[in-house]
Amino acid sequence: MNGSAAEGILARYRDKLLPMVVSVPLLLQNIDTSIMGPALPAMASSLHVSPLRLNVAITAYLISLAIFLPTSGWLADRFGARRVFSAAIAIFSLSSGLCGFSTSLDMLVAFRVLQGLGGAMMVPVGRLILLRNIATAAMVNAMVWFTVPPTIGRLLGPLIGGVTVTWLSWPWIFLINIPIGCVAIALALTLIGNDDGPTDPTEARPFDARGFVLLGAGLVALLTALEGSGTQLMKGNTPLAIAAIGVGCLAAYVIHCTRSVHPLVDLRILGRPTFFAAVVGALPLRLATGAMPFLLPLMLQFGFGLSPLDSGMLTMAGALGSLATRVLLARAINQWGFKRLLLGATILTSACYFVYGQFRPTTPHAALFCAMLVGGLLMSMTLVSMQTLAFTEIPKPLMSHATALSTMAQHVSLSLGVTMSVQLLRVSVWERGGTTSTLLASDFPLAFNCIAGAILLALLLFRRLPADVGSELRVRSVKGTDLA
């Protein structure tokens, strides 16, 4: 095949290939997150810690993401999106390999922080590349294709984790990211157009160091307070004091943002109603998404006594449901519109989480699988719809701010989901007079039921959206033939 023929094929399928290439980092992140679930018991035994203590490794990564995410937009504008995107994948993959050589929880946490640095730049910069290169009318289909690699990651993660722990050892769950990262970098350099940033460095907006310190300190303090509350790490009113510091830093950043000509992340874009609903309204749903990879494997293995492999195969159901979004979402939007779809899917997603809380060791595996399959489909349809709507009101000069803020809120809520899960499990264990080293099936319903209730909070903002919100995004789906 000659060069012109290859270029013709790339141009023809560009609206599908580009979204899939820039979402490869989400594939890496979802494998990384979901693969740890089946491996948690083996990791806890190897590192000589309680299984619940391993949530530190998960939240350390998410806290690192929260710290460095605000810089992603500035880095992309300053050094070029493709260059930053490729470097971020390299950092993520290398640090993932280092996690596999950890011999203590402290070492694992340190490498997870480094991994978070790479992850913080991968996802928002990839999304920025997509938004800058896809027309508005094609955005629904582009966002649907954007979800395919991360859904495959969620699909393969639990299975790979179960197989790895059963037949190999837990370090391999991190080492697998290295070859995937190498392929991702090659694809990025081949398929993403060259963008090296401004030719004159003086044209780039200056780095907002004060804003970076305030935002980073505020987020770290809040998440650290949540992580340390209810544990032996912090006593008395220490968590409240740290949380107060975090709130103070974030409040100071809000004031700084209103006065700065070039804030690190411009919070004024939250004044756009659709973006505000997408970012803030979706927080309860993201919280639930963060809780699932932590809660379900623990319940299936500790509470129900299943093997890592069986647990991984069952939890694949949620990812399989998400994969069906590619086939159904465009048709559902055309049938009901964005607002009705969001309201209905959110209510049904909450019902699914309540059903998860009714699982028992005697529940047939087929019933478990079907419930998680439906839950994965509904959650995915809700989040992809909001993700598609989020940037419809954002002008291109502010896209880097919007992608950074959106991704930052997303990962903070994921971290809150893990932390909330741990605290609710501790409450259940405390009520029965047990210890966190031994988890029972009866310890999990409280967590799932509380998360089901939290999901319904998203309705408060979704119901305020205009009835015809996103109507311009339905043009391609109505007139075109490629709905999936």
For the chain, give every domain's residue range.
Answer: 9-195+264-479, 208-263
Mean pLDDT of 153-178: 73
Mean pLDDT of 153-182: 74
pLDDT at site 246: 87
pLDDT at 475 over 90: no
pLDDT at site 479: 39
pLDDT at site 478: 37
Mean pLDDT of 75-104: 84
pLDDT at 31 over 50: yes
Could you give the dihedral angle defined by the CA atoms of residues 71, 72, 78 and 80, in that order, rounded to the nearest 10 degrees? 170
* Residue of 415, 450, 325 lying closest to 120 (CA atoms): 415
Q: Print burial letters for 310-340: b (CB count within 10 Å at least 16), e (below 16).
A: bbbbbbbbbbbbbbbbbebbbebbeeebbbe
Average pLDDT over the chain, rounded to an integer: 77
Gap between the Cα atoms of 184 and 366, Å rounded: 35
pLDDT category at 452 given cuts 50, 70, 90 is very high
Among 41-50, 70-79, 360-369, 397-406, name the most confident range. 360-369
Q: Print burial letters for 437-450: b (CB count within 10 Å at least 16), e (below 16).
A: eebebebbbebbbb
pLDDT category at 6 given cuts 50, 70, 90 is very low
pLDDT at 456 over 80: yes
Q: Is 93 strand, coil or helix?
A: helix
Contact present, 262 and 205 (Cβ < 8 Å): yes
Among 104-118, 222-236, 465-479, name the most confident range. 104-118
pLDDT category at 430 given cuts 50, 70, 90 is confident
pLDDT at site 189: 77
pLDDT at 317 over 50: yes
Mean pLDDT of 370-379: 90
**9-195+264-479, which class in CATH?**
mainly alpha
Q: What Rg, from alpha-carbon coordinates, does the chain have?
A: 22
pLDDT at site 35: 67
Contact present, 129 and 80 (Cβ < 8 Å): no
pLDDT category at 121 given cuts 50, 70, 90 is confident
Among 221-225, 412-416, 457-461, name the most confident range. 457-461
pLDDT at site 138: 62
Gap between the Cα atoms of 159 and 167, Å rounded: 12
The pLDDT tens digits for 190-212 are 777 665 555 445 556 678 888 88
Q: Print burial letters for 18-40: b (CB count within 10 Å at least 16), e (below 16).
A: bbbbbbbbbbbbbbbbbbbbbbb
Mean pLDDT of 381-403: 78
Q: What angle do CA 100, 102, 108 make, to 5 degrees?
A: 95
Q: Which residue has the higher pLDDT, 446 or 328?
A: 446
The pLDDT tens digits for 174-189 are 787 888 888 888 877 7
pLDDT at site 439: 78
Give me the amino acid identity at 123: V
pLDDT above 90 as % of the chain: 8
CA distances from 260 to 206, 207, 267 (A): 11, 11, 11
Q: What is the DSSP string of 37-88?
A: HHHHHHHHHHHTS-GGGGHHHHHHHHHHHHHHTHHHHHHHHHH-HHHHHHHH
Gap between the Cα atoms of 347 and 342, Å rounded: 9
Mean pLDDT of 212-221: 84
The pLDDT tens digits for 279-298 are 888 888 988 888 887 788 88
Mean pLDDT of 135-157: 67
Tell how far CA 331 is from the center of its chain: 25
pLDDT at site 351: 94
Q: Which residue has the higher pLDDT, 397 or 452?
A: 452
Q: Which residue has the higher pLDDT, 58 or 318?
A: 318
Q: Is 464 strand, coil or helix?
A: coil
Q: Helical H runs in 134-147?
A: 139-146
Q: Would you state the structure tokens that stand for residue 330, as one six-digit string? A: 């465009």
pLDDT at site 484: 31
pLDDT at site 451: 93
pLDDT above 70 as % of the chain: 78
Among 202-206, 387-391, 421-425, name the most confident range. 421-425
pLDDT at 321 over 50: yes
Could you give the dihedral angle defined by the CA atoms of residues 454, 455, 460 and 466, in that order, rounded to the nearest 10 degrees? 170
Q: Helical H runs in 196-282?
A: 209-228, 238-259, 273-281
pLDDT at site 199: 45
Q: Which residue has the higher pLDDT, 233 or 433?
A: 433
